[in-house]
Structure 1
Amino acid sequence: MNLFEKEALIAQAAEEFENKTPEELVKWAVDTFPNITLACSFGAEDVVLVDMLQKVSPKTDIFYLDTDLHFKETYETRDKLASHYGLQFVRAGTELTLEAQAAQYGEELWKSNPNECCNLRKVEPLTAILGKYEAWITGIRRDQAPTRANAKKVEYDVKFGLVKFNPLADWTSDDVWNYIRANDVIYNPLHDMHYPSIGCEKCTRQVLPGEDPRAGRWAGHEKTECGLHK
């Protein structure tokens, strides 16, 4: 399939699946692009997609970006999901240790230059692993942030050069939690402690009542995204 044919397929699929269920899109995605992967951060949206994917294509790769700075609850959620579904998550991370990063860029880079920290520990490893695939599935939703408001359910990811599926793009937070409860899906317990959006431990705080759900990410910095989603 050349690029022109792929772009036509993407445009048609985006329109066709806009009003279909996430499960239908996940099934079509793995059937159409066998060399596909799911990105999992172990947040609420992603554990929903893990559950959906396991029901239709349990052998499809699921990877996570290991910054070496996640909450212990996030790693525990990873292990519980792996045990429950009998799967092995693919770890994607940088070879740059935290000690080497401190020596090269200064202590606590996440405070002095969070964009550079995200680039080193997230964007570069993501670029490397996505280079192995033809398509990827993400858990982004349009109502999460203004930067995601125009996300299509099927689109071409210009930044990383592959097809991108966002099956939950039109879901609300209530839709996500209704699925989790209805299907008894394992989820990160930090969600019950006022962490609606969970990133690295160093850059994530609890969200106060009335605050934007992503207000706990990179608090104190003019930053709302880690650079994974254009």
Structure 2
Amino acid sequence: MGEAARKIDIIDARPVFTQADADALNARFAGVDTLTMLRTLFTEKTLGRIATVSSFGTESAVLLHLVAQADPEVPVIFVDTLKMFPETLAYRDELVARFGIRHSDTVVPDPDVLAKKDETGLRWSYDPDGCCAIRKVEPLARAKRGLDAWISGRKAFQAATRQNIPRFQVEDGQMKLNPLGDWTKDELEAYFEANDLPRHPLEAQGYLSVGCEPCTSKVLPGEDPRAGRWRGWDKVECGIHSPIPAVDPEDPANLPAF
């Protein structure tokens, strides 16, 4: 990575990336196809400890297939909120086996936090932001502690909140990769077809974007593909990619009362 690599600060033996590093990578890989970019990054190992974060949702197979082709040793992290569709869990197992992913890690909510903050398991019904914070945001923050960089499956076409996604960005000193950020829906569908990738079993039933079971509904004809997420709420993101009430990843027991 040349100049960008030399500028990385080291704190506690971990690289701390800056916006300058992200800008250099965006410039270097502008116009480079996604698979070549991933293979180069994984071979050079200049991003340090890296993992892919996947929801194993309706579009997840494309990124997972690309990463597995580039390097099947790259770990894949899945946050099981304990509210997932059984079909999603089965799809996860199918993709991991089919793509030869060698390190599939599942992280779950802290049981003490659930006992304190969601004893009935119904927080999703009256406080979806708070539910996401304890079931998704905190577990992922915990899983990412040992990483220097992580790979996201976000795409600009998915929602207005995801426009102009760069391939590389920095969050809290970690490099965040969005390899499919500039892909279009047509390109995604073409990749599914060309590589004969399996679809999420709920997609054919009208679930075009799949999250937790209680907060996911079928999408009606003409609706936005994410219209079935948190239907009836003024909410479009779980909080992993956009701010919701703060979570202290160092002490999940101190989550805010919401």
Taking a change above 3 Å as real, the CA distance of residues 114 and 175 of structure 1, as seen in their structure-2 partners, is same
SS in 1 for 2:111: coil
Question: After TM superposition, where is structure 1 displaced by more than 4 Å over at least 4 residues in a row?
Answer: 3-6
Contact 1:48–1:176 (CA<8 Å) still a contact in 2?
yes
SS in 2 for 1:68: coil
Q: Match for residue 153 of structure 1?
A: 167
- Alignment of 1:93 onto 2:108: yes
**Which structure: greater helix fraction?**
1
Q: CA deviation at 1:43?
A: 2.0
Q: CA deviation at 1:151?
A: 1.5
Which consecutive unaligned segments of at least 5 residues does structure 1 have?
A: none
Alignment of 1:103-182 (within 5 A): 104=119, 106-158=120-172, 161-182=173-194
Query: 2: CA distance between counterparts of 1:44 and 1:20?
Result: 25
Q: CA deviation at 1:17?
A: 2.5
Which of 228, 243, 249 is the matching residue for 1:216? 228
TM superposition score normalised by structure 1: 0.90
- Alignment of 1:27 onto 2:42: no
Query: 2: CA distance between counterparts of 1:198 and 1:135?
Result: 25
Query: 2: CA distance between counterparts of 1:97 and 1:74?
Result: 25
Alignment of 1:197-216 (within 5 A): 197-216=209-228
SS in 1 for 2:202: helix
Which consecutive unaligned segments of at least 5 residues does structure 2 have?
A: 1-7, 10-14, 243-258
Q: Match for residue 45 of structure 1?
A: 59
SS in 2 for 1:189: coil
Q: Output one character per residue of 1:105-140: Cα deviation in whole Å (capped at 9) or x when no partner.
A: x55110110000000000000111111100001110
Percent of matched pairs sharing the same residue: 35
Q: Output one character per residue of 1:33-83: Cα deviation in whole Å (capped at 9) or x when no partner.
A: 241000011124321111111112111111100001111110111111222
Contact 2:74–2:103 (CA<8 Å) still a contact in 1?
no
Q: CA deviation at 1:6?
A: 4.3
Query: 2: CA distance between counterparts of 1:199 and 1:218?
Result: 9
Select the structure of larger CA radius of gyration.
2
SS in 1 for 2:181: coil
Query: 1: CA distance between counterparts of 2:230 and 2:66?
Result: 30
Matched to 2:110, the amino acid is E
Contact 1:40–1:47 (CA<8 Å) still a contact in 2?
no
Contact 2:73–2:103 (CA<8 Å) still a contact in 1?
no
TM superposition score normalised by structure 2: 0.81
SS in 1 for 2:59: helix
Root-mean-square deviation over aligned CA pairs:
2.1
Q: CA deviation at 1:5?
A: 7.0
